[in-house]
Structure 1
């Protein structure tokens, strides 16, 4: 099983990116979590560019999404909303055939960041994603200097993330079984 991890933060020391990398370490056996780091290269969404031939970074993202069994997203909240770079990536997926019905789980790295999580959930549901609510996790990383190794090493952070990854993998298997 392959899960594409997308961080809504471009910051080098992002706790969102660290949480996704930790999730890769904590995923169950047989589950490969790989980062899709191409959202920074995406042009601003423009419907005029979304035709038979799309910009190469868009094609690369759509191919990645199409080849993934599920998507794991972690994004910061900016001004009570979804990070612009992530919203732009999602806008490029609205008209694609790769996205609808795709299993999605969300990692929130701040228990206080509820507005962006709610907005992201609404956007994803509107785009016909299948959100694995039991596969989502909120980790209290706000205000700490956490990298993937410190998250994996801290049982209070690692165990909820490991459990969420197990539930997300089970959700994906159920979606795949329904499709068969």
Structure 2
């Protein structure tokens, strides 16, 4: 069974919905710079080339980085960045995206799953913490239906922490 999609969804959720109270999406600048690291994949294949653009809530590019040959990236968002910040990378014909909602240093993977969550949030009404939460839930449900699974019986642990502790 391919668990990579679930791991990617869990990674997206952990970043998006960390326990910090500072991500109320009022487009306020961060107190300090945020350092983000992760991996870029497109349809479960590693992306080994590309430039990552970090665009703040105003659409301004606030930082850039390159994807390494082992599909990893690291980017530092300046303290002046207005959140949420969208990380965008072009991989072949695809544009992949992920969202950083607050300046807490984090691990974040950019993938087709994270892109699905970002687009779903836009479709719901925009990139806000509430819309990102709903979009992540929708993406997980859609992925379970597509793989023929309709339960989360395999999850072990506290259900209030299943998606990174937000509830």
TM-score bracket for this pair, using the shorter chain length = under 0.3
Task: Give TM-score scaled by structure 1 length.
Answer: 0.22
| More strand, by proportion | 2
Q: Which has the higher helix share?
A: 1
